[in-house]
Structure 1
Amino acid sequence: MQVSLSVTGLVYLAFIINIPCGYIRENYKKFSPMWWILIHICIPIIIALRIFAGISWHAIPLTLGGSVAGQIVGGIINRRRKQNG
């Protein structure tokens, strides 16, 4: 039970950490160096949290999904903010 809560918490953290990066990433040209940096900058943080929590590598696809979702949500928030002024 505790492992599943830890994995859930880690996926949630991956999601939350990536929202600001996705928000900022929307301001840069696709595939520019800063665009790549903003996509990948959170990876070492998530890896460190996973190792610190003692979660196996099997959780990587879940954290990757949380990270991608956070990037998408951050981008959507930025686009909507720009549309609404």
Structure 2
Amino acid sequence: MELASIFIVSLVALVVNVPLGRWRASVPKFSFLWFLAVHLSIPLIVYLRIKTHLGISYIPVTIAFAVLGQYLGGLFYTIE
């Protein structure tokens, strides 16, 4: 069950951060909106980690997928 929880939380972190990364790429760097786009998904990811009882050892995995989502969203913005 833990492997399924890791997969689901990581996938949600990735999918949620793609549109946020696209938005982040369209606003001025280090502005309030940029900061908001980078950090808006964190409460959702923390909530899902708590509800699925994932330990702190899985924080790097969820962060990596969130960063990947931000990167892909920014990449999609620059391709357009």
TM-score scaled by length of structure 2? 0.95
Alignment correspondent of 1:80: 79
Gaps spanning 5+ residues in structure 2: where?
Answer: none
Corresponding residue of 2:70: 71
Query: What pairs up with 1:10-21 in 2 under 5 angstroms?
Result: 10-21=9-20
Q: CA RMSD in A?
A: 0.7
Structure 1: which 5+ residue stretches go unaligned?
Answer: none
Amino acid at match of 1:18: N
Q: Select between 57-66 and 2-11 the one with higher mean Cα deviation.
A: 2-11
Amino acid in the other structure paired with 2:6: V
**Secondary structure of 2:36's aligned partner:** helix
- Aligned residue type for 2:27: Y
Per the normalisation by structure 1, the TM-score is: 0.90
Tell me how many residue pairs correspond in the alignment: 80
* Superposition pairs of residues 2-13 of structure 1, within 5 angstroms: 2-13=1-12
Counterpart of 1:48 in structure 2 is: 47
User: What letter matches 1:74 in structure 2?
Assistant: G
